[in-house]
Chain A
């Protein structure tokens, strides 16, 4: 395996549950804002203002700090045609980059196929979390999906090193493809062997790693630590994916209590991750995309916010040209889309920018069309 540390790496952070765009990147001086948010408003003295109009939620200190250093692109008014307010379908649209119809191939799955067409590296992409997001799925693409890096592998429950080694030998023999057994059996063989090989390599990452950075205890923070470990191990992994559990940001109720804590946990983990990369002189080769499935209703419900549309996403890293992209959707009542922010910035423009300008791939075949790109990559 060759170590290609300088190859661009994309880390995708999925904030499942739909964070409230309006209280994440806050139009604090808009006169309509306090009207829509009588109890949930974040006052001008609390907002982490980036100019006289907008600013970050007070829980997002670490990202604000990176913004001040010019490392954060804020993608305002991001969305897709005919917004859907179902978590699942909406995530699916972000995963497949296809709002019109249901498809099973993910945009990153296709990107991985382009990065490594001959499947030379089974660790081209690694997911941390429970189950593989559809974004990473594509026929013939193997992606390692890891719940816990310190205990990842096949038949981890077999006691004793010798017994386990022998069991894995047998496993490898039993999954060897057999001539004439058909495409499904071949697929299962390949998947089994890739999982085995991938686990072998991945399990060495924590041993090679040392750092002065201490991550928080949340699963998200621990997964970001694992991402740092895998990246720093130099396996040639180009796409790393993780996120928070479904429903985490689904703040229908008690938003004033939950949102500050959620953003606090998430952004400290991101800040720690960046510091960790920096400590290892690996900060220039990683760009992060932070997104959620949709925005939330402009008018609060008294305690929280319901499903809406028109969101905000963030691209973070040294290679990023920091600043505001897209337009902040108008809060004028007549300009809302059934009570929601009107999106103005197709998420596929940002995907295209990341694929072409950062990853060096041809975005058109992956996204199925050409989209206008931003210039948020240096």
Chain B
């Protein structure tokens, strides 16, 4: 097992998860790349290795999930061994969006995120049915206000525009305004009982209810098909569309491979890598809309393996990845809200995407304010030698010999951060910086500080903004 295998594993874990410490990378690489992909694709066959009992006893707010759902979600992203399951939860949460700013019912949002964990790698068709019955969604996009004879188009429209087909493809519109209305008609009667929000009587979980009396059972014509369609029938027709295959393939590409154009421009902007998109579209139909099969093809493709550092990390990836790297929050302790706040201030508040469109990604994560917060957050963490993950890095470097050269220090740090790469100029700058400090003995008292300062400089680079 060479550096190349570990570098590739670091890449896989940054994309299919939230990054991993070097030891975990070695262990996973030892199992083999394709085996690791399979393990990640099958959380149901593997322990997530989390002690949630302890968490639930400590964070009593997790009881019934009336509060602290973002914190719980963050705890899982940090600690679950089934990293892809959490990464897919976040993926779908950014596409099949609901926002707590409207729903104001953590207990209902929590149920939605659990559903995304459970169904996020199964059949896309099943997932669309689930999200259409999801109480948070029924409330968020007003389908509970859509009635026979008095439709509310909100859900019908977003289902087509943002959850499945997209407005258009290759310069052509994918559906008409009539399709939107017919789609909304098919979902009449899909509503909730135990309404949201809970004020003033308290917060109870809402649940899906189908009201046949309020369902418009008349004939509808949707995307050229005619019948007395209900919601499931409409979803079945949606899933057969090439536009749907294209739309979710582009989302996979954007999230796992490389930054794509922003979603609203997809109608007119062709995919960045049409061949890979075609490969994913083919697998979508071949596997009968199976998300897991598409991900398998994706992770095992050269296009994926060769796309190291082609995506700018999102704020949640940044915060969770940093905490996993330094080994913080492996057990409960007070002060967890600050972590959740940090993601928010970097521009990505879990359970509050800025709109039903989800978060804009890529360079749009970065502005003067968020860049400073991001760099300082990571630098403050890697600069703290009391964290176990940083101690491990120091010890690993020290174990390689009694002295270390300036270049050895820079390269060693880059490697242990997950085989990061710098431009020659920046690499040279950091080697010079290491030389100036004059520390070379690895058992010197100031060696840990020397290492942590180098880590701080590396995480402040432009290159480190990418994953």
Q: Give A contacts to B, CB under 8 Å.
A: 86-89, 92, 102, 104, 127, 130-132, 134, 137, 142-147, 152-158, 163, 166-167, 170-171, 173-175, 178, 184-185, 187-189, 191-192, 194-195, 198-199, 246, 252-253, 301-304, 306
The answer to whether A192 touches B371 (Cβ under 8 A) is: yes
- 14 residue pairs bridging A and B, Cβ less than 8 Å apart: A86-B101, A87-B101, A88-B102, A88-B352, A92-B354, A130-B341, A131-B344, A142-B367, A142-B368, A145-B368, A158-B453, A173-B425, A184-B259, A306-B199
Interface centre among B379, B457, B460, B462 (most CB of A within 10 A): B462
CB distance from B136 to the nearest CB of A (A): 14
Chain B neighbourhood of A87, CB < 8 A: 101-102
- Once A and B bind, how many residue pairs between them come within 8 Å at the CB atom? 135
Cα distance, A175 to B422, chains bound together (Å): 12
Across the interface, B372 reaches (CB within 8 A) one of A153, A158, A301, A306, namely A153
The answer to whether B456 touches A191 (Cβ under 8 A) is: no
Cα distance, A102 to B203, chains bound together (Å): 31
Chain A residue at smallest Cβ distance from B200: A301
The answer to whether B347 touches A131 (Cβ under 8 A) is: yes
Chain A neighbourhood of B355, CB < 8 A: 88-89, 92, 102
Interface centre among B360, B369, B375 (most CB of A within 10 A): B369
Cα distance, A305 to B363, chains bound together (Å): 40
Given contacts A166-B436, A191-B367, 10 further A-B contacts (CB under 8 A): A131-B345, A146-B369, A147-B373, A155-B376, A158-B379, A173-B429, A187-B363, A189-B462, A191-B366, A195-B371
The answer to whether B372 touches A174 (Cβ under 8 A) is: no
Cα distance, A167 to B429, chains bound together (Å): 11
The answer to whether B379 touches A188 (Cβ under 8 A) is: no
Chain B neighbourhood of A175, CB < 8 A: 462
CB distance from B358 to the nearest CB of A (A): 11
The answer to whether A102 touches B370 (Cβ under 8 A) is: no
The answer to whether A104 touches B360 (Cβ under 8 A) is: yes
The answer to whether A145 touches B379 (Cβ under 8 A) is: no
Chain A neighbourhood of B199, CB < 8 A: 252-253, 301, 304, 306
Chain B neighbourhood of A191, CB < 8 A: 366-368, 371
Say yes or no for B430: interface residue by CB 8 A criterion: yes
Cα distance, A301 to B198, chains bound together (Å): 12
Chain B neighbourhood of A301, CB < 8 A: 199-200
| Known contacts A88-B101, A175-B462, A191-B371; is-contact A170 B433 (Cβ 8 Å) | yes
Chain B neighbourhood of A163, CB < 8 A: 453
Chain B neighbourhood of A174, CB < 8 A: 425-426, 429, 460-462
Say yes or no for B99: interface residue by CB 8 A criterion: yes
Chain A residue at smallest Cβ distance from B262: A104
| Known contacts A88-B352, A157-B379, A158-B383; is-contact A132 B429 (Cβ 8 Å) | no
| Known contacts A87-B101, A173-B429; is-contact A188 B366 (Cβ 8 Å) | yes
CB distance from B67 to the nearest CB of A (A): 13
Chain B residue at smallest Cβ distance from A133: B369
The answer to whether B453 touches A195 (Cβ under 8 A) is: no
| Known contacts A102-B355, A170-B433; is-contact A154 B376 (Cβ 8 Å) | yes
Across the interface, B460 reaches (CB within 8 A) one of A143, A146, A154, A184, namely A154
Cα distance, A67 to B456, chains bound together (Å): 52
Say yes or no for B271: interface residue by CB 8 A criterion: no
Cα distance, A293 to B209, chains bound together (Å): 32
Cα distance, A246 to B100, chains bound together (Å): 12
| Known contacts A158-B383, A303-B200; is-contact A147 B460 (Cβ 8 Å) | no
Say yes or no for B346: interface residue by CB 8 A criterion: yes
Question: What 0/1 readout, one digit per residue, does chain B (84-104) give for beta carbons within 8 Å of chain A?
Answer: 000000000000000101100
| Known contacts A88-B355, A155-B456; is-contact A130 B345 (Cβ 8 Å) | yes
Chain B neighbourhood of A173, CB < 8 A: 425-426, 429
Chain A neighbourhood of B370, CB < 8 A: 131-132, 145
Chain A neighbourhood of B433, CB < 8 A: 166, 170
Chain A residue at smallest Cβ distance from B459: A155
The answer to whether A132 touches B379 (Cβ under 8 A) is: no
| Known contacts A88-B354, A92-B354, A102-B357; is-contact A131 B346 (Cβ 8 Å) | yes
Interface centre among A163, A174, A187 (most CB of B within 10 A): A174
Cα distance, A170 to B369, chains bound together (Å): 20
The answer to whether B99 touches A88 (Cβ under 8 A) is: yes
Say yes or no for B380: interface residue by CB 8 A criterion: yes
The answer to whether B369 touches A144 (Cβ under 8 A) is: yes
The answer to whether A198 touches B368 (Cβ under 8 A) is: yes
Chain A residue at smallest Cβ distance from B355: A102
Which 7 pairs between the two chains have the least Cβ-Cβ distance? Answer: A145-B369, A130-B345, A157-B380, A88-B101, A86-B102, A132-B369, A87-B101
Chain A neighbourhood of B223, CB < 8 A: none
Cα distance, A340 to B367, chains bound together (Å): 37
The answer to whether B465 touches A188 (Cβ under 8 A) is: yes
Chain B neighbourhood of A158, CB < 8 A: 379, 383, 453, 456
Say yes or no for B423: interface residue by CB 8 A criterion: yes
Cα distance, A154 to B101, chains bound together (Å): 31
Cα distance, A132 to B460, chains bound together (Å): 20
Chain B residue at smallest Cβ distance from A132: B369
- Chain B residues 180 to 238 lying within 8 A of chain A, measured CB to CB, are 199-200
Question: What 0/1 readout, one digit per residue, does chain B (336-363) give for beta carbons within 8 Å of chain A?
Answer: 0000010011110000101101001011
Chain A residue at smallest Cβ distance from B432: A170
Chain B neighbourhood of A137, CB < 8 A: 367
The answer to whether B345 touches A170 (Cβ under 8 A) is: no
The answer to whether B367 touches A132 (Cβ under 8 A) is: yes
The answer to whether A147 touches B345 (Cβ under 8 A) is: yes
CB distance from B195 to the nearest CB of A (A): 13
Cα distance, A336 to B99, chains bound together (Å): 28
Cα distance, A17 to B23, chains bound together (Å): 46
The answer to whether B457 touches A167 (Cβ under 8 A) is: yes
The answer to whether B457 touches A170 (Cβ under 8 A) is: yes
Chain A neighbourhood of B259, CB < 8 A: 184
Chain B neighbourhood of A144, CB < 8 A: 368-369
Interface centre among B200, B362, B373, B423 (most CB of A within 10 A): B200
Chain A neighbourhood of B347, CB < 8 A: 131-132
Chain A residue at smallest Cβ distance from B104: A252
Cα distance, A339 to B376, chains bound together (Å): 47
Chain B neighbourhood of A303, CB < 8 A: 200
Cα distance, A163 to B312, chains bound together (Å): 28
Cα distance, A189 to B312, chains bound together (Å): 14
Chain B neighbourhood of A246, CB < 8 A: 101
CB distance from B139 to the nearest CB of A (A): 11
Cα distance, A174 to B370, chains bound together (Å): 18
The answer to whether A302 touches B200 (Cβ under 8 A) is: yes
Chain B residue at smallest Cβ distance from A137: B367
Across the interface, B344 reaches (CB within 8 A) one of A130, A157, A171, namely A130
Cα distance, A188 to B362, chains bound together (Å): 11
Cα distance, A246 to B367, chains bound together (Å): 20
Chain A residue at smallest Cβ distance from B461: A174
CB distance from A260 to the nearest CB of B (A): 20
Chain A residue at smallest Cβ distance from B462: A188
The answer to whether B379 touches A155 (Cβ under 8 A) is: yes
Chain A residue at smallest Cβ distance from B99: A88
CB distance from B373 to the nearest CB of A (A): 8
Chain A neighbourhood of B352, CB < 8 A: 88
Chain A neighbourhood of B367, CB < 8 A: 132, 137, 142-143, 145, 191
CB distance from B165 to the nearest CB of A (A): 18
CB distance from B30 to the nearest CB of A (A): 34
Chain B neighbourhood of A302, CB < 8 A: 200
Cα distance, A175 to B465, chains bound together (Å): 12
| Known contacts A86-B101, A92-B354, A102-B355; is-contact A132 B372 (Cβ 8 Å) | no
Chain B residue at smallest Cβ distance from A103: B264
- Chain B residues 350 to 408 lying within 8 A of chain A, measured CB to CB, are 352, 354-355, 357, 360, 362-364, 366-373, 375-376, 379-380, 383
